[in-house]
Amino acid sequence: MSIKLNYSNLFPFLSRQELEPFFARARQAQKTLLGKDGPGVDFLGWVDLPVEITEEQILRLESSAKEIRSKCDAFITIGIGGSYLGGRAVSEALLGAGPVAENPGCPAAYYAGHNISAVQMNRLLSRIENRDVCLNVISKYGSTTEPGIAFRILRGWMEKKYGQEASSRIIATTDRAKGALHNLAKKKGYETFIIPDDVGGRFSVLTPVGLLPLAVSGIDIRSFIEGFKSARKRYLKNDDPLSNPALFYAAARNALYEKGKTIEVLSNFESDLHGIAEWWKQLFGESEGKEEKGIFPAAVDFPTDLHSMGQYLQNGKRDLFETFLMVGEKTEEYAVPEDPEDSDGLNFLAGLDFAEVNLRAYNGTKIAHYDGGVPNMTIWLNRIDAESIGELLYFFELAVAFSGYMLGVNPFDQPGVEDYKKNMFALLGKPGFEELGRELQNRQKECGQNISG
């Protein structure tokens, strides 16, 4: 299996001659990644993860997942950002959005710690009230506010419901040797899995961060890993952009960016890929948005958003380009039925499979947006299965590494994420942030003087 990239609709917005220098820059970025001599070298563990995962590690994940399935009918993953997005995205792609209780023999999947909503927390507690629950908390150090609050609440709920047995129902995926969560897990006797020191959160789906929840949901993690291996073999060292779509994609993105296309819209025609698009937004936004540089990543679900955001894409400001995400092979069929009265005038579609209607909607949209002045590419995925999704994720990880280096930023840090955390800590009164807290409170008062309504 392999990913195909159709770039026909980049022309005439870009010429082949204009792309050549970006191909050269992409090759240099690839050399920088392979040589491990660029920014962020301490966070390149993801590059070789596909071939470094051992049979022992896989067996442990599978064994733990089997044990969890035997104990519970609800499995809650606590995390934010890269600590939950990857696993959730893959789960939704393969099993559908929402709880996955319909997957025989597997617990329903719930998520917490990715917001600070009393409504959502109360709703979750109501849904699990009469369920047998296991809890998986994912945090490098255990001090991030959003998942930390959720874990405090849910840990208390578990201890009240199960008493001492709660410790055998809580799994901590955290740092190897330090941090609040590591220390608590050691004290309470939780089963623990390790987040590697050299893998950043948004690149962590092939670590226990993503693999354990997927295994609990009954997903074949061995096939998922094979997809990563396949992509690594095809795209990591191949320096020909015409046969390496990850290299071409990085080059084209940067060429469009330098021509004023500062927004990329990832458009998919398969609703189960919504979570993949959410993961992609974090991967590219957090990797490239630095030093007042970067392409803003946005995503839409078609055809739903054709009746809303489609208007902007067709006629709005021409500072964007579009990347379609399409699936080539249909795995299910449903034909449009015929209506004897043809009251809706849609009998011209009778007998057509939904997949064919969807494909023609894509082709019509692609041409319309091209005619409207939007350069676009299409990433074709063979099918939606564990191996293909694994290949797609590694493709994107490689592409953002190449693209970030081409852009001249460190694709593997996230200094801007820390700014909001400092302000939130200060406003919440965290010890050590008192001076900043007073400054921000004064600024809040000044802002409060300028309110309309």
Active site (catalytic) residues: 286, 307, 421
In 163-263, alpha helices (H): 180-188, 208-216, 221-235, 245-257
> Mapping DSSP to helix (H, G, I), strand (E, B) and coil, where does residue 327 land?
strand
Check the CA dihedral 180-186-192-197 and report its sign: positive
Q: What gap in Å lies between CA 183 and CA 185, rounded to an integer?
A: 5
Q: What gap in Å lies between CA 78 and CA 56, rounded to an integer?
A: 25
Q: Residue 95 in contact with residue 103, Cβ under 8 Å? A: yes
Q: What gap in Å lies between CA 57 and CA 53, rounded to an integer?
A: 7
State phi, psi for 321 to the nearest 5 degrees: -135, 170
Q: Residue 215 in contact with residue 102, Cβ under 8 Å? A: no
Q: Which residues pair with 35 in a beta bridge?
A: none
> Mapping DSSP to helix (H, G, I), strand (E, B) and coil, where does residue 48 land?
helix
Residue 21 tokens, joined:
């220098």
* Beta strands at 376-381 and 320-327: parallel, antiparallel or unpaired: parallel
Amino acid at 453: G
Amino acid at 365: T
Q: What gap in Å lies between CA 168 and CA 175, rounded to an integer?
A: 19
Sorted by sequence, the CB contacts under 8 Å of residue 418 that are 6+ apart come out as none
Q: Residue 241 in contact with residue 81, Cβ under 8 Å? A: no
Amino acid at 381: L
> CA nearest 57: which of 301, 203, 221?
221
Tell me the C-alpha to C-alpha distance, in Å, between residue 140 and each of 186, 242, 436: 14, 39, 25
Q: What gap in Å lies between CA 5 and CA 267, rounded to an integer?
A: 14
Q: What gap in Å lies between CA 433 and CA 444, rounded to an integer?
A: 16
